[in-house]
Structure 1
Amino acid sequence: MKPLLSVVVPVHNVEDYLEECLASLAEQSLKDIEVVLVDDGSTDGSRRIAEDFAARDDRFRCVHQPNAGLSAARNTGVARTTAGVPYLAFADSDDIVVPDAYERMLASLESTGSDLVTGNVWRLNEQGRQQAWQYRWLTADRPRTHITRDPRLLADRVAWNKVFRRSFWDRHAFTFPVGKLYEDTPVMIPAHYLAGSVDVLHEHVYLWRVREGSITRRRTDVRGVRDRIAACEQVSAFLADRGAGHRLRYDISCLRDDFVYFLEGLPMGGPAYRSAFMADAGAFLDRAGDAALAGLPAEARIRWQLVRERRTEDLLAVLDFERANGTGTFAVAGPPGRRRAVSPAVTGGRSASARLGKGDLPAVARLVDAGWGEDGRLRLRGYAYIRNLPARAALQSLKAGLVREASGGRPRPVPVRTVRTERATADSGQELHHYGHAGFEMVLDPGRLGPGHWLVGVVVAGHGVVRRAALRAVEAAAAQPLVHDLGDGLRAVLGYRDGRLELAVSRLPALATGHEQGPDTLELTGRLYGDTRPTALVLTREGGAEQVHPVRCGDGFGARIPLAALTAGRWRAALLTDGVRVPLAAAPELPPPAFADAAGALVVDLSGEPRVDRAETAPDGGLRIGGTGAGALLELRHSTLGETVA
């Protein structure tokens, strides 16, 4: 049977990773594939591994050629695929393809008729896998889209997370540029523009292995920087005939993404590298002009203007300052309306500055602590300031709180008290500005707000500038829900929506308030509110297992669950009312084995595993953790270093 997909894999001196890569292809859920392995003059054991794999699986075959580089190997592989195979893909020989990636990608193309499909990417290194930054924006599928409608696809510049319709590939006679580094960009960006439509999958399809040693060496490589800038110029020239807007948008993306990697390598590069970067990047800026710089934030405009003026030593001083104080830290000079960002790293007759726009002085608002008072009101403590405008005095940091429903509507003002704090300055990671009066305290009364999803923000004013910012967690790991029952079935949950602080006030249909475990059963009891009269309790375990138990209704409700039915694992609970499933909330103080999860929903778990239910900072600065469950030893493991503390 003729395959549906041809996969081209260039191979060169990757014996440590090749077996894992080829296994990921062999184990694809889409079986109708052919894999063309192009051994590009390997001098290690890669050729033997490839040949052995091809001998075991007739879907794989090897092609050998003298070393000519990645582009030449890919082009050879495309030429050696079977004629008439409708789809084409590429994989690098040290990477891994997700098991069902090609099945999902072909299904998408078959459904939409698009010319290519691209998918999300994991970045793989010695510490494990992380989301590739180029695809952080990918949170939902986007079938039949296009780069002109979604410019974020300008970051999608690699070949190996895609499947192409072969007729599209051949119609435009795509080939990779031989003898060049960064060979993907001058093919992938034109492919995006030439496609009639593109499918984008938000689920991951590929694990991109990042070998740190090779990155450091390439970062200051003269050939590397020249090839990268040349590749971007080639794409920019291609876009010149497709309207000024497309070319300008791409030029800005190069200054924002592609070239930054090499710019930040200047301090570690030698004279030849610095000369090559300043000459080629400077020429790019001379051609791109002021319009490209205008699309960048102030700190980037300062950097790139120095490149444009070929002021290498001043640029190195700015980069050194930013390493100590963080990118985006600068002084502000001039009167309102004519303010400029000025780098304090450059002194003497010529400054390094850029005109400020409104977006260049954003507000920062962070929640440090939250707690419910005995009066049922929510007390918030945090800090808010306008970045790069110091808050040394209270009048430099006037604040007001705002809440509004997530669905829209007018914001409601909330009184705020300004307090002193050293936390804001410490968290800012810079030493140029002091934000000592950025602290605030705010009190919210959920009873007065009423049911709804309320977003919380802060307005900050100082130095003649007014800014509004959503309140966010100091750290993502600290963004945990805070549940409080207000009485009579009214519940408030402080949590986060897309990183923004949100107070959700809702009326519960039911609340689990107690349980009793006998020899054979677990008896669950609770309150009912309003007209809720459930007929069944539905327990669902992760993985899809489900069980249904009858419910007794009176003043409250009760359900008897056989312990034998509660096999290992965590079961989530819902009530069945008039054929509709309603999530069952639990009282926060309910102990295991039927207890409230972090969001306040009922969970049943008989495993007895330890469960952390509180964490706080001790007076000595240590972390105090408490909870329930078996085990007397707590072990902490560092996610990066792998070290453990018991």
Structure 2
Amino acid sequence: MTVDPLALPVGEWLLGVVVSRREVVRRAAVRPPETSAAQPLVKELGHGWRGTLDFRDGRASVTVRQCAARVDAHRLDGDRVELTGELFGGVRPTTLSVQHPDGSREFMYHVDGSGEGFTVRLPLADLTDKPVDEPRLPKEVEPPGSVRWRVRLVLADGTELPVAARLGLAPGRYGEVCVTADAAGQLRVELTRQAIADVLRWEHGALRLSGTHGGDARGELELRAEEEGRTVRADVVRDKGRFTASVPAPAGAGRWHAYLDGMPVRVLTPVGATLPAELAAGAWQFRADRRDGDRLVIDVTRTTGGADADTPMEVRVPQVGRQPAAPDV
């Protein structure tokens, strides 16, 4: 089924199919194959217009809407992160609101506008400073993997509007602060150490991926099976905030989740739009995909008869340059 968002009027449209058999006509909703697959897919239509395939109450829908503002670039300007972008539909914001997810803190920054363009600067100290009364976690408790700030443009009358981001916007790592586009194409400003993969492909029976990461950790990249006890590990090459790893295709049916430094690996929005990436190796089928928005997973299925290996296992790759073979079948 193909849906052209350019052929649809502005608004949200629910997707369905009509099935007829003999004299019986039935309508059915289009739904995701599983709950974690209910994630958005965004297409740029030009001049700030976007078509977004998403799911509402488990049902597929296509929304055609123009962004109020879109961030196209970011850079470090002294001790601030400078965001630049474009305004659409005659919107003229005065400030940018950046609010902590628990509502405890909110910062307002002046928006400089020039024609259809805009610039705003975010002090890094505001985004990384922790409140005095923040509860201290025991040393045995791992801190949250990320804290996402709520970002909104504010008009002169107090109206708040969401801020989009260019789909191909590369993640900007400014210390602990990361600026990028989320799975729905919205601007994402967060404190995070999570890795974001911007290159992902199968090579010689292994999944090769690279991207950006935060923090100073030096852990391995892992594929963890949803069933406890199975792990695939690979060494990681790091250079100036980027990482590269080549992970052997996991042996054993099931779903495997990717982790770097103990936290889930995410995929950049345009990379997620190209997934799934599949590999066939003998009796095994490997499918790299994203789930729960932008988290990297690998689904492994056996395509021919025979019992699946379900015993705990661990595979190691000594170095990234080595190309591991596909699992024995």
TM bin, normalised by shorter chain, reads: 0.5 to 0.7
Structure 1 distance, partners of 2:19, 2:203, is: 31
* Larger CA Rg, structure 1 vs 2: 1
SS of the aligned residue for 1:598 comes to coil
Structure 2 distance, partners of 1:480, 1:470, is: 16
Structure 2 distance, partners of 1:602, 1:518, is: 19
Q: What does residue 312 of structure 2 align with? A: none
SS of the aligned residue for 1:637 comes to strand
* CA distance 1:643–1:627, change in 2 (3 Å): same
Structure 2 distance, partners of 1:470, 1:626, is: 38
Letter in 2 for 1:547: F
The answer to whether 1:561 aligns with 2:122 is yes
Structure 1 distance, partners of 2:6, 2:166, is: 19
**Structure 1 residues 257-298: Cα deviation after superposition (integer angstroms, max 9, x where no partner):** xxxxxxxxxxxxxxxxxxxxxxxxxxxxxxxxxxxxxxxxxx
Kept in 2: contact 1:595–1:603 (CA 8 A): yes
SS of the aligned residue for 1:447 comes to helix
Structure 2 distance, partners of 1:465, 1:444, is: 25
What is the CA distance between 1:639 and its match in structure 2?
A: 3.7
Kept in 2: contact 1:572–1:602 (CA 8 A): no
Which runs of structure 2 are paired with 1:295-444 in the superposition (5 Å)?
442-444=1-3
* 1:478 aligned to which of 15, 18, 37: 37
Which runs of structure 2 are paired with 1:6-21 in the superposition (5 Å)?
none
Letter in 2 for 1:604: V
Kept in 2: contact 1:534–1:551 (CA 8 A): yes
Q: What does residue 490 of structure 1 align with? A: 49
Structure 1 distance, partners of 2:37, 2:222, is: 20
Q: What does residue 586 of structure 1 align with? A: 165
Structure 1 distance, partners of 2:221, 2:166, is: 27
* CA distance 1:641–1:609, change in 2 (3 Å): closer
Q: What does residue 453 of structure 1 align with? A: 12
Letter in 1 for 2:126: A
Structure 1 distance, partners of 2:200, 2:39, is: 11
The answer to whether 1:531 aligns with 2:90 is yes
Letter in 2 for 1:601: Q
Structure 2 distance, partners of 1:519, 1:596, is: 23
The answer to whether 1:609 aligns with 2:169 is no
Higher percent of residues as strand:
2
Structure 2 distance, partners of 1:620, 1:504, is: 39
Structure 2 distance, partners of 1:625, 1:453, is: 35
What is the CA distance between 1:635 and its match in structure 2?
A: 1.7
What is the CA distance between 1:560 and its match in structure 2?
A: 1.0
Structure 2 distance, partners of 1:624, 1:443, is: 31
* 2:184 aligned to which of 578, 594, 599: 599
Structure 1 distance, partners of 2:65, 2:197, is: 26
Q: What does residue 315 of structure 2 align with? A: none
* CA distance 1:636–1:546, change in 2 (3 Å): farther
Structure 2 distance, partners of 1:479, 1:625, is: 24
**Structure 1 residues 381-401: Cα deviation after superposition (integer angstroms, max 9, x where no partner):** xxxxxxxxxxxxxxxxxxxxx
Letter in 1 for 2:40: P
Structure 2 distance, partners of 1:574, 1:610, is: 25
* CA distance 1:502–1:609, change in 2 (3 Å): same
What is the CA distance between 1:476 and its match in structure 2?
A: 1.9
What is the CA distance between 1:624 and its match in structure 2?
A: 6.8
What is the CA distance between 1:535 and its match in structure 2?
A: 0.7
What is the CA distance between 1:615 and its match in structure 2?
A: 6.9
Structure 1 distance, partners of 2:153, 2:85, is: 12
Q: What does residue 178 of structure 1 align with? A: none
SS of the aligned residue for 1:537 comes to strand
Q: What does residue 628 of structure 1 align with? A: 212
What is the CA distance between 1:638 and its match in structure 2?
A: 3.2
SS of the aligned residue for 1:459 comes to strand
Structure 2 distance, partners of 1:508, 1:445, is: 19
Runs of 4+, deviation exceeding 4 Å: 612-616, 618-627
What is the CA distance between 1:497 and its match in structure 2?
A: 0.6
Which runs of structure 2 are paired with 1:122-271 in the superposition (5 Å)?
none
What is the CA distance between 1:493 and its match in structure 2?
A: 1.2
Structure 1 distance, partners of 2:64, 2:198, is: 22
Kept in 2: contact 1:491–1:506 (CA 8 A): yes
Structure 1 distance, partners of 2:121, 2:188, is: 15
SS of the aligned residue for 1:605 comes to strand
Report the number of matched residues: 204
Q: What does residue 500 of structure 1 align with? A: 59
Structure 2 distance, partners of 1:527, 1:613, is: 24
**Structure 1 residues 504-549: Cα deviation after superposition (integer angstroms, max 9, x where no partner):** 1111111111111134110111101122111111112222232111
What is the CA distance between 1:464 and its match in structure 2?
A: 5.3
Q: What does residue 260 of structure 2 align with? A: none
Letter in 2 for 1:528: L
In the alignment, structure 1 segments of 5+ residues that lack a partner are 1-441
What is the CA distance between 1:484 and its match in structure 2?
A: 1.7
What is the CA distance between 1:570 and its match in structure 2?
A: 2.4
* CA distance 1:632–1:589, change in 2 (3 Å): farther
Structure 2 distance, partners of 1:518, 1:483, is: 30
Which runs of structure 2 are paired with 1:78-117 in the superposition (5 Å)?
none
* CA distance 1:619–1:457, change in 2 (3 Å): farther
SS of the aligned residue for 2:91 comes to coil
Structure 1 distance, partners of 2:160, 2:185, is: 17
What is the CA distance between 1:488 and its match in structure 2?
A: 1.0
TM-score if structure 2 supplies the norm length? Answer: 0.56
* CA distance 1:498–1:526, change in 2 (3 Å): same
SS of the aligned residue for 2:26 comes to strand
**Structure 1 residues 58-111: Cα deviation after superposition (integer angstroms, max 9, x where no partner):** xxxxxxxxxxxxxxxxxxxxxxxxxxxxxxxxxxxxxxxxxxxxxxxxxxxxxx
Q: What does residue 282 of structure 1 align with? A: none
When structure 1 is superposed on structure 2, of 511-520 and 463-472 the one drifting more is 463-472
Structure 2 distance, partners of 1:561, 1:619, is: 40
TM-score if structure 1 supplies the norm length? Answer: 0.29
Structure 1 distance, partners of 2:232, 2:18, is: 43
Structure 1 distance, partners of 2:206, 2:19, is: 33
* CA distance 1:621–1:509, change in 2 (3 Å): same
The answer to whether 1:552 aligns with 2:112 is yes
